[in-house]
Structure 1
Amino acid sequence: MINSKETTRALGIYPTMTLVEARSARDTYLLELSKGIDPLHVIKPKITSLEEVSREWHTRKRGWSEPHAKKVLKDLENHIFPEIGKRAIDETTGDVSN
């Protein structure tokens, strides 16, 4: 109940979100509600760099083996982030020469 109104919230979709992730999201959501905050209406800070977007993308991986996921992240950290990771995402193009 938010502002004395019954509401329904979707915190993710199946099968993209696992049961463990769904329960964790529910618990976090209920904790915030108990503090008087509706987390679905809180403005989140904008992701601005290629590294931030890449790390967020990596957390949403599905169907990858753990070794593959670790290799992808390690490759990003070793080869991409040092060169162009701090670039603003809206300024990032396929051209890495500038």
Structure 2
Amino acid sequence: MLHLRPKDLALVHDLLARHLPAEVAVWAYGSRVNGNHHEGSDLDLVLRTSDLTALPAGLLSNFREALTDSKLPIFVDAHDWALLPESFHPRILYRYEVVRPGAPAVLA
């Protein structure tokens, strides 16, 4: 279960919709999923493309900037799955919550 106030989760969903393509899946992990959070805990997110390759240049930094500029009362730490060390992947896979499943890529 993701421990986040409903209005904060709604704002995260809004930011995702405005700043990331629909095919990018977003998972939460860390203390707000594990249940060992406190009021000021950050929200850890990992962004995953359908083929697990790196996000297009600038996309992650633009999303991070939007998070920083938002009215969220907590810090949100967003990472690109493909750029994290592979040794970190099992930690996330052990316990995560899907925030947005990602849509199949549209073929042109």
TM range (shorter): under 0.3
- Return the structure number with greater helix share: 1
More contact order relative to length (CA 8 Å, sep ≥ 6):
2
**Normalising by structure 1, what TM-score?**
0.24
**Normalising by structure 2, what TM-score?**
0.23
